[in-house]
Structure 1
Amino acid sequence: MSDEDDKSAKDIGQRARRMKAARDNPGPSPLRGIGTFGMIGWSIAVPTVGGAFLGMWLDRVAPQDFSWTIALLLGGVVVGAVIAWGWIGKEGDGK
């Protein structure tokens, strides 16, 4: 084998390793970003809306000096933010 054949074989080997690495570790996908955005939105929206509905029911059943609706709406936002924060942290560790 000549020196040129050795160089060609090394080039082919390096390309094969790069191709395998690209297959094994794909880069970030735009669809994954859209999915993450949707998951974060639902993580905040569901507890917020649930808190609002529960608050409206409690305002009718057990009226107080304060508004249950506003209190549980804000509570739902906080719970949703905590869920979203934890989900983002978990996704960040997986990369």
Structure 2
Amino acid sequence: MNKHKTESPGDKISQSVDRQAQRKLKARRDKRHSVWFGLGMFGLIGWAIAIPTLAGIALGLWIDRQWPSQVSWTLTLLFVGVVLGCMNAWRWIGKERDHD
């Protein structure tokens, strides 16, 4: 007779639901995630996107003024800044999600 019990799909689902319920109960007890925390996180994510975007625009304007060409470095680096900012914001959100 096998001493190790194999889990059925129903057991795995039950454990997953239990973990989610425990997280929700913990979140209700934990006052750290208040409205102010949400607003702060919103601001952090906004700045995480805005700073690389503005830096890309500034660098692009400087390059366009120094070395005029057919390529708009302002638009190119604006796009690069937005992409980098979004990746940065995604990292912040992931860190916060993993922290909980």
Q: TM-score, normalised by structure 2?
A: 0.68
1:42 aligns with 47
Identity %: 50
Deviations 1:7-64 (A, max 9, x none): xxxxxxxxxxxxxxx8xx5142111100100000000001101100110000011222
Letter in 2 for 1:45: A
Letter in 1 for 2:75: I
The structure in which a higher percent of residues are helix is: 1
Question: Which consecutive unaligned segments of at least 5 residues does structure 1 have?
Answer: 1-21
Q: What RMSD in Å do the two structures reach over aligned CA positions?
A: 1.4
Task: Confirm or deny that 1:29 pairs with 2:29.
Answer: no
Q: 1:59 aligns with which of 64, 68, 80?
A: 64
Larger-Rg structure: 1
Alpha-carbon distance in structure 1 between the residues aligned to 2:65 and 2:84: 23
Q: TM-score, normalised by structure 1?
A: 0.71
1:10 aligns with none
2:21 aligns with none
Q: Which runs of 4+ in 1 moved over 4 A?
A: none
Question: Which consecutive unaligned segments of at least 5 residues does structure 2 have?
Answer: 1-25
Aligned residue pairs: how many? Answer: 72
Alpha-carbon distance in structure 2 between the residues aligned to 1:50 and 1:30: 30
Letter in 2 for 1:38: G
2:81 aligns with 76
